[in-house]
Amino acid sequence: MYQQNLLLEGFTMAKGTVSPEIIEQLKQIVGEKYVYTDKEKLEPYSHDEVTDPHYMKEAQVVVLPATTEEVSKVVKLCYDNDIIMVPRAAGTGLAAGAVAIYGGVIISIERMNKILEIDTQNMVCVCEPGVTTSVLQEEVKKIGLFYAGDPCSGDSCFIGGNVATNAGGNRAVKYGVTREQVMGLEVVTPTGEVVMLGGKFRKNATGYMLMHLYIGSEGTLGIVTKVIVRLVTLPKYQMDLLAVFDNLDDAIALTPIVMNAGITPTCVEFMDNASIKQVEIFLNEKLQHSDNGNYIIIQISGDSEDTLDEQCEIIDELARKNKALDVLVANPAIIWKSRKAYLEADRARSLVFSMEDIVVPLTMIPEAVQRISRLAEKYNVAMHCAGHCGDGNVHIDILKDDKSQEEWNEMLPKIQGEIYAIVVEYGGRLSGEHGIGYKRQALLEKYGNPLELRLMKAVKKALDPKNIMNPGKVISINDEVPVE
């Protein structure tokens, strides 16, 4: 039987056992078919998209509720019996945030996948958390509306997971991250109570904005069971431009130049040459200027073709003044397939790799990337860079390749330490969109602001006093024991 003794505020507290009786009660709540206990069914839930075996842990049981009422009953059962709960969406995360590192019960919202209402008068969509981001986008598009959230994993990630991690994505430059898309949330608290926060209204000055605590909390404060998202009118016209540079610094430096010219792009993405070549191998397609080019991908959109043509001419002129080798109107299917294949291309080369997700002020990106890139030579390791340079979010893939697990375990923390020291120096943060999860929890303790961390811990203790809602993720409140 599972039992974990943990220290909380100076006294010992035994976390509850997932006994056969508890499992039977779970089956009564959601149905026997939706309670998994055998190893074969538990295995897919033992990890997210982080492929390092160090971050893979199995729960005692996985439960798949279908309604808010069922979620509430499962949570209350766990709370009353001091059983650890781990909320889980699609499992597309990159920080081991939905992995049961201390065992317990995984509560998966995958069956809660209905779009409940598209309200064209209030320009909102009400949906369950298991709706896939791309499905939501396609459904509202059919009636001429637009959901602006656009993580690169949109074909597979859930809206609930987007909320839990405050997902960013390609369109954050113009429309903002998930936080800017959410107007209301229904949440099941760690005690099993249900609360509705926010709503279909656009303004709210009624006390503390509790809704925003849950956005980006990575399932540590409760479980989202309903989401109200903001919709906008679908832009009539869209254009994708590709600017190619032989120097990555010049490429990234284009972003503030364009934005200072009065243009607000929908997306500004970059890929370094190593990433382009790796994607080329993965897709088995020849990409433009792949021999020595670094990409800046700029998407502009609006309701006037003339305006887009004018913006295109301005961007072309600015890019060439900034030493672009070429500027061309890109085929959107090809260029976005290439950009979104970045992660899978690196995974195909090295099953184990670390994707860092830093964010720094926009003007600091060239210098930060330059300094971080030098670490590849210092540690004799492959490092690829891509990301959302329109909002300062840089992804750095550190590839294990043929290094032994022992070498990797020794090397990776050193590289991360140097990366995060650079990030902090430039006034940045450890994660722009993937979150802290379990993977970066210790790093946040080391590099985070002590007062900010203390405030976070106070919130966690207030809302989850037993520390049984996804413990060990984001922050530690000194009651977890090391995981072997």
Instruction: Please provide the size of the chain in residues.
Output: 484
Structure-model confidence comparison of residues 7 and 189, the more confident one? 189
- Rounded average pLDDT over 104-109: 98
- 481 has a pLDDT exceeding 90: no
Under DSSP, the state recorded for 98 is T
- 9 has a pLDDT exceeding 60: no
Q: What is the pLDDT of residue 479?
A: 52
Q: Which CATH class is domain 115-233?
A: alpha beta
pTM given for the model: 0.92
- The three-state secondary structure class of 11 is strand
Do residues 432 and 358 lie in contact, with contact meaning Cβ atoms separated by under 8 Å? yes
Residues 221-275: pLDDT tens digits? 999 999 999 999 999 999 999 999 999 999 999 999 999 999 999 999 999 999 9
Give the chain's radius of gyration (CA, Å): 23
Report d(CA 415, CA 83) in Å as an integer.
Answer: 36
Mapped to the 3 state alphabet, what secondary structure does 274-308 carry?
HHHHHHHHHHCCCCCCCCCCEEEEEEEEECCHHHH
Residues 93-102: pLDDT tens digits? 999 999 999 9
Report d(CA 232, CA 159) in Å as an integer.
Answer: 17
Structure-model confidence comparison of residues 420 and 480, the more confident one? 420
| Alpha carbon distances (Å) from 287 to 20, 239, 319, 442, 481 | 56, 19, 20, 39, 48
- 470 has a pLDDT exceeding 90: yes
Percent of the chain at pLDDT exceeding 90: 91
Q: Which CATH class is domain 20-108?
A: alpha beta
- 12 has a pLDDT exceeding 80: no
Name the token pair of 220: 């540590």
- CA 73 vs. chain centroid, Å, equals 28
Q: Specify which residues 296 forms β-bridges with.
A: 243, 270
Residues 146-173: pLDDT tens digits? 999 988 888 999 999 999 999 998 899 9
Do residues 399 and 346 lie in contact, with contact meaning Cβ atoms separated by under 8 Å? yes
- 143 has a pLDDT exceeding 90: yes
Q: What is the pLDDT of residue 154?
A: 82
Q: What is the pLDDT of residue 8?
A: 37
Start-to-end CA span in the chain (Å) = 18
Q: What is the pLDDT of residue 152?
A: 84
Residue ranges covered by each domain of the chain: 20-108, 115-233, 235-348, 350-459
CATH 2.40.50.140 fits 350-459, yes or no: no
What is the pLDDT of the chain when averaged over all its residues?
Answer: 93
Name the token pair of 432: 């722009």
Report d(CA 219, CA 97) in Å as an integer.
Answer: 8
Phi, psi of 89 (to 5 degrees): -100, -120
Question: Of 59-73, 163-177, 351-365, which one has max mean pLDDT?
Answer: 59-73
Angle subtended by helix axes 248-260 and 365-379, to nearest 10 = 160
Confidence bin at 14 (pLDDT 50/70/90): very low
- 304 has a pLDDT exceeding 80: yes
Residue matched to tokens 């430039």: 426
Report d(CA 60, CA 46) in Å as an integer.
Answer: 10
| Alpha carbon distances (Å) from 166 to 61, 127, 181, 429 | 27, 17, 10, 14
Q: What is the pLDDT of residue 7?
A: 36
Residue matched to tokens 């979010």: 393
- CA 143 vs. chain centroid, Å, equals 28
| Alpha carbon distances (Å) from 173 to 147, 161, 263, 292, 300 | 14, 20, 11, 27, 11
Q: What is the pLDDT of residue 3?
A: 35
- Rounded average pLDDT over 320-349: 95
**CATH fit for domain 235-348, picks 3.40.50.2000, 3.30.70.2190, 3.40.50.720, 3.20.20.70:** 3.30.70.2190
50-54, 62-66, 190-194, 198-202: segment of lowest average pLDDT: 50-54
The full DSSP string for 238-252 is EEEEEEEESSHHHHH
CATH topology agreement for domains 235-348 and 350-459? yes
Closest CA to 380 of 360, 407, 355, 341: 407
Residues 174-186: pLDDT tens digits? 999 999 999 999 9
